[in-house]
Amino acid sequence: MANQEQPPLQIGLAGFGNVGAGVYKNLLKNRALLEKRLGRGLEVRRIAVRDLSKPRDVELPADLMTTDLDSLVEDDAIDIVVELIGGTDRAFDLVKAALERGKTVVTGNKALLAERGQELFAIADERKTPIYFEAAVAGGIPIIKTVQESLVGNHIEAVAGIINGTCNYILTRMTEAGLDYPEALAEAQQLGYAEADPTLDINGWDAAHKAIILASLSYGCWVPTDRVYVEGIEKITRRDIDFAQRFGYVVKLLAVIRLHPDSSAIELRVQPSLIPRGHILASVNGVFNAILIRGDVVGETLFYGSGAGQDPTSSSVISDLADAALWRNNCEGHTGFVPHGLYGKPLPIEESASKYYLRVEADDQPGVLAQIARVLGDHDIGILSVIQPEDHEPGSAPIVLMLDYASFGTIRAALAQLKALDCIREDPVLMRVESL
Ligand code: HSE
């Protein structure tokens, strides 16, 4: 039962798109449960949208709606501002102003936090006012609080995540149904998984923003966006997926965050990567997300669930509202960003090492394989196995190699030399092989 002495907390909701509507709908649906659990009601007082006339699936009283974003901040009765408008400019101004007025902030905006989180958390810290952001990473998977709270007794050694559902859906369909990339992308768009403009999903930056947030929580420092190595899935072909399968791997867009203990450097990258078929992450398919975290005390843990969608993402926003309610009741607990370690600096990508998948299209002539092997040998890169299928187009032959551990800098230098060989017909395809 709600605490009679405590009036319901008043929420100002900025944005009523898919997630905003889900938050409103599910707050109403589970109102009694939340009141019982929190000892206090949660009430949406005002909803700011761009366009009042836009048709909406979720019914709501017209008197809650406004186009005036500032009114959420200016209304002293509003305790919590929920920012779901996206983007980094208006959203930044809104969150900053809300914090400065002493309001608690809940946001699901990964780009905002990855790009300007350092500034916002400094304001939150100064004002002793929390920012909660569970919905910013992996939709409905409660990964933020897991790292902040449940794993607080660990040094985080590594994080590996499939954290973009759109890319995972596309790669899954290419693998399982043999679709080409454009077909799989069109299907993802038709089903509403990919945005009409899916650029940030497929170019890897949606996952990179999430990875920056996870790295900040794991290591207590903000990695600037220009120090993150990001490759998308745009160039992945069915052919490479097929070859990877022949070697016993599946292709996933993988975010890797890893501490190098000797140098205290943080490796942070998002790339299409080969994962052994038998590894548990290889079976994370469709729009699902999964995040594997290795801590020095807990060992390996894995978190799986819906990384996007109205209900899963609103579940995370509502969990933040619950935290905000508890915080406002007691004015204690974490204030959003908890730096565990302040370990330090980003690792230059050239120094990160892994095994690799390499496909080159070369002239179908004697001696070509020897030329390729020589370049790799000159760079001290070991060849683990090679396939040259017989059923190729006449004249040009695909040569697919699995390469042993080498630094990214070394492999790039070798690639540059390979590209310059007369016998190489097109840009080689390189992907990481993760042993996890
Ligand atoms: N567009 C994202 C995805 C969800 O496909 O996973 C929101 O970050």
Both 109 and 162 in a single domain? no
Q: Is residue 337 part of a domain?
A: no
The domain that contains 106 carries what CATH number? 3.40.50.720
Both 78 and 103 in a single domain? yes
Distance 210 CA to ligand 1 centre (A): 10
The domain that contains 387 carries what CATH number? 3.30.70.260
Instruction: Provide the β-strand partners of residue 9.
Output: 42
Distance 165 CA to ligand 1 centre (A): 6
Instruction: At 397, give phi and psi (nearest 5°).
Output: -125, 130
Both 120 and 90 in a single domain? yes
Which pLDDT value is given to residue 197?
Answer: 79
Which pLDDT value is given to residue 56?
Answer: 83
Q: Residue 372 to residues 2, 156, 381, 404: CA-CA distances in angstroms?
A: 72, 39, 11, 15
Q: Residue 116 to residues 87, 89, 124, 229, 425: CA-CA distances in angstroms?
A: 11, 10, 13, 18, 43
Q: Is residue 73 part of a domain?
A: yes
Q: Rounded to an integer, what distance in angstroms lies between the CA atom of residue 426 and that of residue 419?
A: 8
Q: Which residue has the tokens 């999964």?
A: 290
Q: Is residue 1 part of a domain?
A: no
Both 199 and 285 in a single domain? yes
Both 115 and 17 in a single domain? yes
Which pLDDT value is given to residue 256?
Answer: 98
Q: Is residue 342 part of a domain?
A: no
Q: Rounded to an integer, what distance in angstroms lies between the CA atom of residue 313 and that of residue 142?
A: 10
Distance 369 CA to ligand 1 centre (A): 41
Instruction: At 328, give phi and psi (nearest 5°).
Output: -70, -30
Give first-to-last CA distance, the chain, whole Å.
47
Q: Is residue 421 part of a domain?
A: yes
Q: Is residue 179 part of a domain?
A: yes
Q: Residue 421 to residues 142, 340, 358, 375: CA-CA distances in angstroms?
A: 49, 49, 15, 10
3-state secondary structure of 194: coil
**Does ligand 1 have an atom closer than 6 angstroms to the CB of 108?**
no
Which pLDDT value is given to residue 221?
Answer: 85
Both 84 and 168 in a single domain? no
Distance 213 CA to ligand 1 centre (A): 15
Which stretches of the chain drop beneath a pLDDT of 70? 1-4, 334-343
Q: Rounded to an integer, what distance in angstroms lies between the CA atom of residue 387 and that of residue 306?
A: 37
**Does ligand 1 have an atom closer than 6 angstroms to the CB of 316?**
no
Are 331 and 115 a contacting pair, CB within 8 Å?
no
Helix locations, 191-297, DSSP H: 199-202, 205-219, 238-246
Structural domain harbouring 120: 9-132+310-330
Mutate to test the pocket of ligand 1, among 113, 205, 206, 313 (most ligand atoms within 8 A of CB): 206
Are 183 and 236 a contacting pair, CB within 8 Å?
no
Both 121 and 156 in a single domain? no
The domain that contains 287 carries what CATH number? 3.30.360.10
Report the number of distinct structural domains present in the chain.
Answer: 3
Residue 212 token pair: 């920056």
Query: Per the residue annotation, which of 128, 210, 235, 345 is the catalytic one?
Result: 210
Q: Rounded to an integer, what distance in angstroms lies between the CA atom of residue 353 and that of residue 410?
A: 9
Q: Is residue 338 part of a domain?
A: no
DSSP state of 366: T
Q: Is residue 17 part of a domain?
A: yes
Both 47 and 109 in a single domain? yes
Q: Crossing angle, helix 31-38 and helix 310-330, to 10 degrees?
A: 30
User: Which amino acid, 60?
Assistant: L
Both 79 and 159 in a single domain? no
Q: Rounded to an integer, what distance in angstroms lies between the CA atom of residue 241 and that of residue 250?
A: 7
3-state secondary structure of 42: strand
Q: How do residues 286-332 score in pLDDT, each as one tens digit?
A: 999 999 999 999 999 999 999 989 999 999 999 999 999 999 888 77
Both 373 and 230 in a single domain? no
Both 355 and 254 in a single domain? no
Residue 29 token pair: 């649906």
Q: Is 145 a catalytic residue?
A: no
Both 323 and 258 in a single domain? no
**Does ligand 1 have an atom closer than 6 angstroms to the CB of 346?**
no
Q: Rounded to an integer, what distance in angstroms lies between the CA atom of residue 144 and that of residue 150?
A: 10
Nearest to 125 by CA among 100, 151, 143, 147: 100
* Atom number in ligand 1 closest to CA 289: 6
**Does ligand 1 have an atom closer than 6 angstroms to the CB of 129?**
no
- In angstroms, how far is CA 159 from the centroid of its own chain? 12
